[in-house]
Structure 1
Amino acid sequence: MLRKKGVIAFLLVMVLVLAACTEGTNTDSTSNQSDSGEDGNGGPLVIGFEADASTLMANHDVNYTTDTLIRNIYDPLIDREGETGEFVPVLAEEWENIDELTWRLKLKEGVTFHNGAQFNADAVKYSIDYILNEENGSFYRSRWANVEEVVAVSEYEVEIHTSVPFPSMIQRIAEDLLIVEPGYVEEVGIEQASNEPVGTGAYTFVDWSRDNHLKLVAYEDYWQGSPDIQEVEFRIIPEFSARMSAFMSGEIHLFKNIPVDSVEQFDSEEIGEIASSRINYLALSNLVEGPLQDVKVRQAINYAIDADELLETVLNGYGTRITGPLSQINSDYTETEDYGYDPDLAVQLIEEAGYDPNELTLTLDTPSGRYPMDSHVAQAIASQLQSIGITVNVQVNEWGRHLEKIQNRETGDMYILGWGPAFDGQSTIENLFTQEAPYSSFYQEDIEEKITQTNQLFDQDERKAGYEEIQQDLVEQAAWVPLWQQADLYAISTSLNFTQRVDEKLNVYEMSWK
Structure 2
Amino acid sequence: MKPIIATGVIALAAALSSGQAFANKADDTLHTAFSKELETTDFYFQSAREGTILARQVWDGLVYRDQKTGEYTGNLASSWEWIDDTTLEFKLREGIKFHNGEEFDADDVVYTVNYVVNPDNHVVVPGNVNWMKSAEKIDKYTVRIHTNGPFPAALEYLAGLVSIYPNEYYAEVGPTGMGQKPVGTGPYMVESVDPGKHYVLKKYDDYHDSPKGKASIGTIDIRTIPDVNTQMAELFSGGIDMIWNVPSDQAAQLKTMDQFTVSNESTMRIGYITMDAAGRGGENPFQKKEVREAVGYAIDRQAIVDNLLQGSSKVVPSACYPSQFGCEQDVKAYPYDPEKAKALLAEAGYPDGFTIDFYAYRDRPYAEAMMAYLAEVGIKTDLNFLQYSALREMQQKGNAGFGFLTWGSNSIADVSAITSLFFKFGNQDFARDEEVKNWLDAGDKTVDGEVRKESYSKALKKIAEEAYWIPLFSYNTNYVFTKEVDFTPTPDEIVRFFEMSWK
The equivalent of 1:180 in structure 2 is 165
Q: Is 2:85 aligned against 1:94?
A: no
- Residue-by-residue CA offset, 1:70-119 (whole Å, 9 max, x unaligned): 22111112232234544332112222222112111222111100111111
Partner of 1:486: 475
Alignment partner of 2:437 out of 445, 448, 451: 448
Q: What letter matches 1:232 in structure 2?
A: I
Is 1:220 aligned to residue 205 of structure 2? yes
In 2, the alpha carbon distance for the partners of 1:187 and 1:466 equals 44
Letter in 2 for 1:178: S
Q: Which residue of 1 aligns with 2:339?
A: 344
Give the letter for the 2:166 counterpart. Answer: E
Distance 1:402 1:494, change over 3 A: farther
Q: CA deviation digits over 1:451-506, x for unaligned, max 9?
A: 11111121111211221222211111112221111111101211111111111112
Amino acid at match of 2:130: A
1:412 shift after superposition: 4.5
Distance 2:18 2:113 in 1: 43
**One-letter identity of the residue aligned with 2:247:** P
The Cα shift of 1:376 comes to 0.3
Matched with 1:311 is 305
Residue 163 of structure 1: how far off its partner (Å): 3.5
Is 1:201 matched with 2:186? yes
One-letter amino acid of the counterpart of residue 452, structure 1:
D
- Of all paired residues, the percent bearing the same amino acid is 26
Q: Identify which of 223, 237, 241 aligns with 2:229.
A: 241
2:218 to 224, 230, 242: 230
Give me the TM-score of the superposition, normalised by structure 1: 0.89
2:170–2:178 CA contact under 8 A, matched in 1? yes
Is the contact made by 1:26 and 1:261 (CA closer than 8 Å) also made in structure 2?
no
Q: Does the 8 Å CA contact 1:47/1:254 hold for their aligned counterparts?
A: yes
2:420 aligned with 1:424, yes or no?
A: no
Match among 432, 454, 462 for residue 473 of structure 1: 462
- Cα contact 1:83–1:502 (8 A) shared by 2: no
User: Which residue of 501, 505, 509 maps to 2:490?
Assistant: 501
Letter in 1 for 2:319: P
Match of 1:434 among 424, 428, 436: 424
The corresponding residue for 2:500 is 511
Specify the alignment match of 1:327 in structure 2. 321
Return the alpha-carbon distance in structure 2 between the equivalents of residues 408 and 356 of structure 1: 31
- Which among 399, 407, 414 is matched to residue 396 of structure 2? 407
- TM-superposed deviation, 1:439: 4.1
User: 1:33: Cα distance to partner?
Assistant: 11
Written as runs of structure 1 = structure 2, the 5 A alignment for 1:66-85 is: 66-83=51-68, 85=70
| Other-structure match for 1:302 | 296
1:45-91 deviation per Cα after TM superposition (whole angstroms, max 9, x unaligned): 11111113221223333332212112211111223223454433211
1:396 paired residue number: 385
Distance 1:165 1:253 in 2: 45
Which of residues 78, 91, 105 is equivalent to 1:106? 91
Change (3 A) 1:441 1:89: farther
SS at 1:313 equivalent? helix
Q: Would the alpha carbon gap of residues 255 and 33 (structure 1) be closer, same or farther in structure 2, given more than 3 Å must change?
A: farther
Q: Name segments (4+ residues, structure 1) moved above 6 Å.
A: none
Query: What SS class does the counterpart of residue 281 from structure 1 fall into?
Result: strand
State how far apart, in whole Å, the 1-side matches of 2:265 and 2:496 are. 16
Q: For 2:18 and 2:437, how far apart are their aligned partners in 1?
A: 50
Aligned position for 1:7: none
Give the Cα separation in 1 of the matches to 2:62 and 2:21.
37
3-state SS, counterpart of residue 238 of structure 1: coil
| In structure 2, distance between residues paired with 1:317 and 1:115 | 43
Q: How does 1:141-180 map to 2 (within 5 A)?
A: 141-180=126-165
Larger mean CA deviation between 379-388 and 239-248 belongs to 239-248
Secondary structure of residue in 1 paired with 2:57: coil
* Amino acid paired to 2:99: H
Q: Which amino acid is 1:238 matched to?
A: P
**Residues 1:66 and 1:439: Cα distance change in structure 2 (over 3 Å):** farther
Tell me whether 1:251 sits opposite 2:228 in the alignment. Answer: no
Which segment drifts farther, 315-324 or 106-115?
Answer: 315-324
Any idea what SS the aligned residue of 2:324 has?
coil
Contact 2:244 2:479 in 1 (8 A): yes
The answer to whether the Cα contact below 8 Å between 2:24 and 2:484 also exists between their aligned partners in 1 is no
Q: What one-letter code is carried by the residue in structure 2 that aligns with 1:258?
A: V
Contact 2:271/2:404 (<8 A) preserved? no
* CA deviation profile, 1:199-248 (whole Å, cap 9, x unmatched): 11111222111232111111121113753211111111111211111112
Question: How do 1:121-140 and structure 2 match up within 5 A?
Answer: 121-140=106-125
Letter of the 2:472 partner, please give it: L
**Counterparts of 2:148 and 2:121 in 1: how far apart (Å)?**
21
Residues 193 and 263 of structure 1, relative CA distance in 2, 3 Å threshold: closer
Q: Distance in 1 between matches of 2:352 and 2:54?
A: 44
Q: Deviations over 1:304-340 (max 9, x none)?
A: 1110111112224551121111223223233234211
**Compared CA separation, residues 442 and 417, structure 1 to 2 (3 A):** farther
More moved, 103-112 vs 223-232: 223-232
- The DSSP-based 3-state class of the residue aligned with 1:387 is helix
Q: Contact (CA 8 Å) 1:284, 1:414: kept in 2 or not?
A: yes
| Aligned CA-pair RMSD | 2.4
Distance of 1:93 and 1:73 partners within structure 2? 20
Distance 2:21 2:490 in 1: 25
Code of the aligned partner of 2:218: Q
Mapped to 2, the partners of 1:166 and 1:33 lie a distance apart of 57
Q: Is the 8 A contact 2:234 2:240 kept in 1?
A: yes
